[in-house]
Structure 1
Amino acid sequence: MTEKPEPGVPLHFVVKTRLIELLDQLGEGAALPPERSLAKDFGVSRWTMRQAIRELTADGRLRARQGQGTFVATPKLIQPLALVSYTEALRAQGHDPGREVVGFDQIPADAVLAASLGIAEDDAVYRLERVLLADGQPIGLETTYLAVERFPTLREVLRPTGSLYRCLTDDLGVRFGEGEEVVETVIATPREAELLKATQSLPMLLLNRISRDTDGRTIETVRSLFRGDRVGFRATLRP
């Protein structure tokens, strides 16, 4: 029987805490017992159990597989908030990185994009949109904008499924100096949710970054949308 929660603490939160202990015992990849039996064992209603399971799924601790059940999820991928290659950061954690190209075209810069890239309005801009993969599964959707005038040979030297960071540094001689990144939570659009194989109710983390070289010139602006159940971020803070 689940203990009575303290005043002001929702019952499903107590259930959620006890479920986490159960997940640790079951281990990664194990199937979660049926909701009905869990509710009976915990002495709560199925609605309360369902709410706790729903929150643990949103937190990335559980993963539902249609027609199969709910399973203990693998730990979240923790990405550094730093000017490093996505490929290298993922490999350092023992995962296989990958990318699927959604689009690679040229567009005229609007006023906001022109200001962020330090170019004139209507100047040509590369727009590279790719689904980011970890072990073959989509975890993020990244859209990068770069000035065509500054990188006229980008299409010739970039492998669309390869590391853009590595291409810019090794092939085009760019030296990254600093970046500014803003992180917020958002709800995915229907298109974004479809590309990330997620539901629109799943929390997403949105990162907007401007990267500059060692001379202070803007290299790129990047919009990255990540599944909140699969990815977390780490920053090193110093006084």
Structure 2
Amino acid sequence: MPLHYAVKTRLVELLDRLGEGAALPPERALAAEFGVSRWTMRQAIRELVADGRLRARQGQGTFVATPKLIQPLALVSYTEALRAQGQTPGREVVTFDEIAADVELAGGLGIGEGEPVHRLERVLSADGQPIGLETTYLSVARFPALRAVLEPTGSLYRCLTDQLGVRFAEGEELVETVIATPREAELLKATQSLPMLLLHRNSRDTDGRPIEVVRSLYRGDRVGFRATLRP
């Protein structure tokens, strides 16, 4: 067993004793207590930060993190899913404009290449802390009134269902791990070394027509996903 992994295991026991929000003792003191080098201790702490067990605050220290938010892999509102876990959802609009569909986007939305597409990019937050960057694409031809009826910081799903009469039926979602770009890391207040979860989703209505194409990037230290599997 690598030494830093053994140290990491002992640190997890310490975190459980300290409790949520508690400050981690200084790296030098922990290294001396555990009888290891500062490099080994630093490596163990970095992995626990990446795992979401610790949170580093610049100029303040390292603290025991709150548990990860577990989101369902389902066609449900981000707002409702977060509130169900006792968290206050938030959205900050980064971009809300129109672009021309490229080949891939046109295929996902069932439209012609070059046709206009709504692009809505928002930073998602939980209790005021950024956790995700979501970019949603919808056909302008199908939803010409979207910009007039959507409150950009509100629930897009609620707007589509309640005001535009959309009925979600099914979707496909691909999940992979990536490294954030410098821009994405800045928007999420994270370092580029922090693991990210990237979700690609295509949704369809009850008639089988494409509704949206969504690209969602989530901080791997703050969010996890759960799916219900049936034979």
TM superposition score category, shorter chain reference: over 0.9
Other structure's SS at 1:170 match: helix
Q: Which residue of structure 1 lines up, in the alignment, with residue 230 of structure 2?
A: 238
> Is 1:206 aligned to residue 198 of structure 2?
yes
For 1:93 and 1:203, the matched residues in 2 are separated by 23
Correspondences of 1:1-239 after superposition (within 5 Å): 9-239=1-231
One-letter code of the match for 1:206? L
How far apart, CA to CA, are the structure 1 residues paired with 2:54 and 2:81?
24
Identity rate, percent: 84
5+ residue gaps, structure 1, are 1-8
TM-score (norm 1): 0.96
Moved over 2 A (4+): none
Distance 1:18 1:175 in 2: 50
TM-score normalized by structure 2? Answer: 0.99
What value does the CA root-mean-square deviation take over the aligned residues? 0.5
What whole-Å deviation, never above 9, does each CA across 1:78-135 have from its counterpart, x for those lacking one? 0000000000000000000000000100011111110110001111100000000110
Shift of 1:43: 1.1
SS in 1 for 2:94: strand
In 1: Cα distance, 2:55 partner to 2:110 partner = 43
Count of paired positions: 231
CA deviations over 1:120-174 (Å, ceiling 9, x no partner): 1111100000000110111000000000010010011100000001100111110
Q: Which amino acid aligns with 1:89?
A: A
Task: Specify the code of the residue in structure 1 equivalent to 2:127.
Answer: D
Aligned-partner SS, 1:104: strand
User: What stretches of structure 2 of length at least 5 have no aligned partner?
Assistant: none
Q: CA deviation at 1:41?
A: 0.9
